Amino acid sequence: MKLPRRKFLQLAAGAAALPVMPYVARAQAYPTRPLRLITPFPPGGSVDLSARLVGQWLSERLGQQVVIENRPGAGGNVGSEMAAKATPDGYTILLCSVANAISATLYDKLGYDFAKDLAPVSGVSRAPNVMVINPSVPAKSVPEFIAYAKANPGKVNMGSSGIGTSIHVSGELFKLLTGVNMVHVPYRGSAPLLTDLLGGQVQVAFDNLQPSIPHIKAGTLRALAVTTTARSEVLPDVPPIADFVPGYDASTWNGVVAPRGTPAEIVDRLNKEINAGLADAKFKARLAEMGASPLIGSPAEFGKFIAEDIAKWAKVIRAGNIRPE
């Protein structure tokens, strides 16, 4: 039977659309069940707090529960690998951080490739570290500290919360750009680092903001500078290192990524909802309490940010010949 031309064209158009319709409908209906937000660090830390803030916001916006799943281990790589290997259907996402950008070069063999196996969804927040010294060090500014360190090569101990942490590589970037010779002393976490910094066993650290602020305000530590190119709202009188060391910029940050292959419509939906949170006054106030500012942008912009951070820390890690513990 020969079909009329108009009828044929209608059927042909309908047939061509068939493979797309379930895909589009699936994306439009998303989500139809709870989401899993993997957090590759233990409960209570800054990454976990950010995950819970994002999870609560998305739960309200999407109408489905977002379950926070803490999967710590290997500097965040256990949970990150789990997310990278999850089904790319939008129901598993990862709260990534600067640790992922550092690990991309720090570890020779990982079970996943951060840049290739995980697709950027949205940034969440960015915060500076702070360069703090024991008050016994006779320096009131970054230039004075550089002069002191150069006059005492190998005698200044630089503490960190562990090899390859943001605190460590922030200090290594400082060494690379200034040429100062400091001895790296790694600790197992920020608490023992602060204990020895307060006690004078180490003289300087590029510590996370929150743990240091009470000691800065009490005068038991002296803040010389923040590590981002802009001042921090919680330490408005403390200048950026970049004011004295051109090209210096380091921060802790986090964001959301999804397994590569997650439908673009779902990625865009998640990006839209997260960015709505980052523009919300209460959400921003919560970030400010953590000393952080919103990291707003498209998936492509967040991907560019990640790529640049990986490249920066790769240069520092290789120059310092840094190897994991």
pLDDT in tens, 30-43: 999 999 999 999 99
Mean pLDDT taken over the chain: 92
**In degrees, to the nearest 5, what angle opens at C-alpha 322 toward C-alphas 172 and 79?**
100
Q: For position 1, what pLDDT does the model report?
A: 37
Q: What is the pLDDT of residue 27?
A: 55
Strands across the sheet with 204-208, in order?
182-186, 156-160, 204-208, 129-133, 222-226
Burial 151-183 (b: 16+ CB within 10 A, else e): eeeeebbbbbbbebbbbbbbbbbbbbebebebe
Q: What is the per-residue pLDDT across 196-249, written as a single tens digit (0 to 9) for each? A: 999 999 999 999 999 999 999 999 999 999 999 999 999 999 999 999 999 999
Phi-psi domain of 75 (left: phi exceeds 0; alpha: psi -120 through 50; beta: other): left
Percent of the chain whose pLDDT exceeds 70:
91
Query: pLDDT per residue over 40-68, tens digit each?
Result: 999 988 899 999 999 999 999 999 999 99
- Please tell me the predicted confidence (pLDDT) of residue 182: 97
**pLDDT value for 22:** 46
Q: What is residue 45's predicted lDDT score, i.e. its pLDDT?
A: 87
Where do the CATH 3.40.190.10 domains begin and end in the chain?
A: 129-243
φ, ψ at 173 (rounded to 5°)? -65, -40
**Residue range(s) occupied by CATH 3.40.190.150 in the chain:** 33-127+252-319
> Who's near 22: CB < 8 A, 6+ residues apart?
none
C-alpha span between 96 and 83 (Å, rounded) = 10
Q: What is the mean pLDDT of each run of 10 residues along the chain (325 residues)?
A: 41 40 58 98 92 98 98 96 98 98 95 97 98 98 98 96 97 98 95 97 96 96 98 96 98 98 98 98 95 97 98 97 91
Residues 193 and 159 sit within 8 Å (Cβ to Cβ): yes
CATH architecture of 129-243: 3-Layer(aba) Sandwich (3.40)
Spacing of C-alpha 122 from chain mean position: 11
CATH 3.40.190.150 fits 33-127+252-319, yes or no: yes
